[in-house]
Amino acid sequence: MSARKVGARKVGAARKRAVTSPATLALRPKRIRPALLAWYRAQRRDLPWRRTRDPYAIWVSEIMLQQTRVETVIPFYERFLDKFPTVDALASADEDDVLAAWSGLGYYRRARGLHAAASIVAREHSGTFPDHPTELRALPGIGEYTAAAIASIAFGREAAAVDGNVVRVLARIHGLRGTRDSARLKSDVTRLAHALARGPAPGDWTQALMELGAMVCLPRPKCEECPVARACDAHRSGDASRYPEPARKPEPRAAVEVLLLARRGRSIYLEKAATRTGITWTLPSVTTRESAASLGFKPLGEPLTSFRHRTYAHDLRIEVLAATASRSRRGRWFTPDDLDGLPLRAPTLKAIKRLRLLSS
């Protein structure tokens, strides 16, 4: 047998050994929990939301940390809590003030959810945060992960908070194969996470797993610094970064989008849209000519222009139709000069350029 074949067999055998048996899984919490908790208590970063048990403050931090880095969140978190120190203060604030305090953090849907949830807590729970994950999940903007994080960190409940980092960490420790986005892997990890969540100090445990995923068990893991390396199957396999496998990139989905161009003299009508990066302005958008009436527009004639626009998820064919507005909506009319420097959604900017509607 060639040396290459022998090598390949050894690697295959190592990978097979990396797959954990059910009996081993049952033993894991006893080994992992104390080591990881001790490491967390000695090494944890001093973050402002770790100095409090106030559920409101912890909730704000968890919402801000969704899709945003810790270093970015810290100044926003401190300013936000200075301005809205309690759930009642947030509930009674104007939405525009809440969005202004959020400005620069992106994903404005989170700010709207926070504001709506604060109103519900103030109105229906007399300002006291519910402490059970199921009740927390009933609030706007709080999903399974955030509910479990708040319940464990603020209320000491044994709840398993499973996000992408936790999937990566537990898949590696337990040698679970599968792609990062696989439902099977997520469900296997969730089952393990629930088993591991049982025990003392649930809040510290949740944060210890998060901290390991954020500081050590990174996409390129620093196994030499890891407190659970001796119990980790992926580390033993010799190439921990292979766990979990990368998600397969989806093919962009073909779709049609119709942009409605209403004009009043040289002015055009645009509406405000909240995006990941902030507020932009867009021509009113529908999926078919027929649905324009639902927005209060009547399309006129053939498309003025059409073009393709690709995003990560979509391959769009954009058609721009002249339209009359039959009722006023929340948008505004803009002259060509007003459009200069205005943040515009990419397809709207393309349409405006193609139709030469800018002043220069």
Q: Which residues are catalytic?
A: 62
Q: Rounded to the nearest whole angstrom, what is the least distance from the CB of residue 184 to ligand SF4 in the complex?
A: 20
- Of residues 207 and 280, the one with the C-beta less far from ligand SF4: 207
Q: Rounded to the nearest whole angstrom, what is the least distance from the CB of residue 151 to ligand SF4 in the complex?
A: 25
d(CA 51, CA 279): 33
- CA quadruple 195, 196, 202, 206: dihedral positive or negative? negative
- Of residues 236 and 317, the one with the C-beta less far from ligand SF4: 236
Q: Rounded to the nearest whole angstrom, what is the least distance from the CB of residue 218 to ligand SF4 in the complex?
A: 8
Q: What angle is formed at CA 268 by the lines to CA 265 and CA 270, rounded to 5 degrees?
A: 155
Tokens read off for 97 = 């003030």
- Of residues 98 and 229, the one with the C-beta less far from ligand SF4: 229
**Tokens 């954020």, residue?**
214
- Of residues 25 and 138, the one with the C-beta less far from ligand SF4: 25
Q: What is the binding site for ligand SF4 (CB under 6 A)? A: 169, 172-173, 216-217, 221, 223, 226, 228-229, 232, 234-235, 240
Q: Rounded to the nearest whole angstrom, what is the least distance from the CB of residue 159 to ligand SF4 in the complex?
A: 22
- Of residues 229 and 323, the one with the C-beta less far from ligand SF4: 229
Q: Rounded to the nearest whole angstrom, what is the least distance from the CB of residue 219 to ligand SF4 in the complex?
A: 10
Pairing of β 314-325 and β 253-264: parallel
Q: Kindly report the length of the chain.
A: 360
Q: Residue 179's beta-bridge partner residues?
A: 245
Consecutive H or E run containing 46: none
- Of residues 39 and 102, the one with the C-beta less far from ligand SF4: 39
Tokens read off for 40 = 């967390």
Phi-psi region of 108 (alpha: psi -120 to 50; beta: other; left: phi over 0): alpha
Beta carbons within 10 angstroms of residue 181's beta carbon: 15
What is the SS3 assignment for 308? strand
Q: What's the gap between Cα 192 and its chain centre?
A: 22
**Tokens 């040396």, residue?**
3
Q: Rounded to the nearest whole angstrom, what is the least distance from the CB of residue 319 to ligand SF4 in the complex?
A: 49
Pairing of β 297-310 and β 253-264: unpaired
